Amino acid sequence: MTAPRLNLGDLRELCDRYVPARSRHRDSIHPADDELWWHAHELGHLLTVDPSGVGEPMFGLRDGVTPPTELVCRELAAIDVSRRLLASAARSDLARAELKGTDYSTVGYPDRGRVRRILRKHRAQRLPRTRASLERRLRQVVAAARGSR
Least separation in angstroms between CB 39 and Zn ion: 12
Strands (E), the chain: none
- Give just the sign of the alpha carbon dihedral 17, 36, 86, 99: negative
Footprint (CB under 5 A) of Zn ion, residues 21-40: none
Minimum separation from the CB atom of position 102 to Zn ion (A): 8
Residue 41 near residue 78 (C-beta atoms within 8 A): yes
Write the binding mask 70 to 109 for Zn ion: x where contact by CB under 5 A, - elsewhere: -----x--x-------------------------------
CB 98 within 8 A of CB 15: no
- Report whether 11 contacts 39 (CB < 8 A): yes
**Smaller CB distance to Zn ion: residue 49 or 142?**
49
Handedness of CA 45, 56, 34, 101 (dihedral sign): negative
Residue 117 or 136 having the CB closest to Zn ion = 117
Residues in a beta bridge with 130: 5
The CB-of-122 to Zn ion minimum distance in angstroms stands at 15
# residues near Zn ion by CB under 5 A? 2
**How far apart are the C-alpha atoms of 144 and 148, rounded to whole Å?**
6
Nearest distance from residue 25's CB to Zn ion, in Å?
6
Of 3-11, 68-76, 84-92, 129-137, the window that binds Zn ion (rule: CB under 5 A) is 68-76
- Residue type at 44 in one-letter notation: G
Query: Nearer Cβ to Zn ion, position 60 or 130?
Result: 60
Q: Name the 3-class secondary structure at 123.
A: coil
Query: 75 vs 80, which CB is nearer to Zn ion?
Result: 75
Report the interface residues with Zn ion, using CB under 5 A.
75, 78
